[in-house]
Amino acid sequence: CGYCKKINANKDDIKKALKNHGIDLKYVSDKENKAEFEKLQKKYKVKGFPASIVLQNGKEMGRVAGYMPTQQFVEKAVAQLN
C-alpha cells in the first residue's frame, strides 16, 4: 500500500529518532520477510496496515496505526511508553 511504502522509505529516519529516546525499532515487512511478518500478524492480531506495535520488555504498550511524518510517529510511540 502507499502508506506502507512511505513508512518503508522513512524507516531509517524513524529508527534513528526512536533510538534517541532509547527505543529500538524492529521493522518487519511482508516484502522482506513474509514468514516472520505472518507470524507477528497472527500473534498481535493485526488487521490493518501499516501497523506499528509499541513493546516494552516484550509487553504490548500500544499501537501506532497508519502513516504519519517521522516526528509525529516518534511522539506517538514514545507517549505509549509513559
Residue ranges of alpha helices (H) inside 20-81 are: 34-43, 70-80
19-63 pLDDT tens trace = 888 888 888 878 777 888 889 889 989 888 888 888 888 888 888
3 state SS of 62? strand
As a whole number of angstroms, the distance between CA 29 and CA 3 comes to 12
The per-residue pLDDT for 69 is 93
The per-residue pLDDT for 50 is 86
The structure's pTM equals 0.78
Per-residue b or e along 26-63, where b marks 16 or more CB atoms closer than 10 Å to that residue's CB: eeebeeeeeeeeeeeeeeeebeeebbbbbeeeeeeeee
17 pLDDT higher than 80: yes
The per-residue pLDDT for 5 is 85
As a whole number of angstroms, the distance between CA 69 and CA 8 comes to 12
